[in-house]
Chain A
Amino acid sequence: AQKITQTQPGMFVQEKEAVTLDCTYDTSDPSYGLFWYKQPSSGEMIFLIYQGSYDQQNATEGRYSLNFQKARKSANLVISASQLGDSAMYFCAMSSGRRALTFGSGTRLQVQP
């Protein structure tokens, strides 16, 4: 079974500052993928970044980067230069192969001006 743990129910960050959202995972599958999604109040799931378990380098997508520490089973999301529009729920998720995602409980990020 797969499990995702997000220990930060809520986070505050000042505009233009960087913020790290924590995610740890547990799985017995040797091959897996880790995802981060942003969910605004509208409910849509916006894909941010993906990290494969065999990827040697940490994934980056614009202002988003994933701090992947395989030995510690962590996949923290770093958002640089926070913007007011970054305020939303953020979910860490994982999957093996093309199976469904297992989601963490989420972190609500609030960016303050």
Chain B
Amino acid sequence: GAVVSQHPSRVICKSGTSVKIECRSLDFQATTMFWYRQFPKQSLMLMATSNEGSKATYEQGVEKDKFLINHASLTLSTLTVTSAHPEDSSFYICSTAGLSYNEQFFGPGTRLTVL
């Protein structure tokens, strides 16, 4: 299956700063990538769907101006958390769907802590 990487794996930042998370599909052309958020002891919730060369689609309740998504190539999608606050502290994980319906490839996740 496809290999998806994320960078950084862990980041700690001060409140008010912006943080960029990269999601790379290493061996697969990912026209679509999904960004999920997982708060402690909770499930994964879809934040947005990133489409190569077009605007991302955000789920209800997710601020598109706060969570900027860029999918400029078939192998890279980035999520930028702008003016991060402690409530943005979470585990962010990206994924992409493979060619078959049973294929969903996840990155290893990024743990964000905002002080």
Contacts and interface: CB of A to CB of B under 8 A. Distances in A.
Interface of A: 33, 35, 42-45, 47, 50, 52, 91, 95, 97-106
A105 B43 CA distance: 5
Contact of A44 (B43, B46, B108): B108
The secondary structure that dominates the B interface is strand
Nearest to B57: A100
Interface in B20-64: 32, 34, 36, 38, 42-46, 49
The A contact surface, by secondary structure, is loop
Contact of B44 (A33, A50, A99, A103): A103
Nearest to A32: B101
Nearest to B59: A100
Max chain B Cβ within 10 angstroms of own Cβ: one of A33, A35, A42, A100: A100
Contacts of B34: 100-101
B109 A44 contact: yes
Contact of A98 (B43, B46, B91, B97): B97
B108 A43 contact: yes
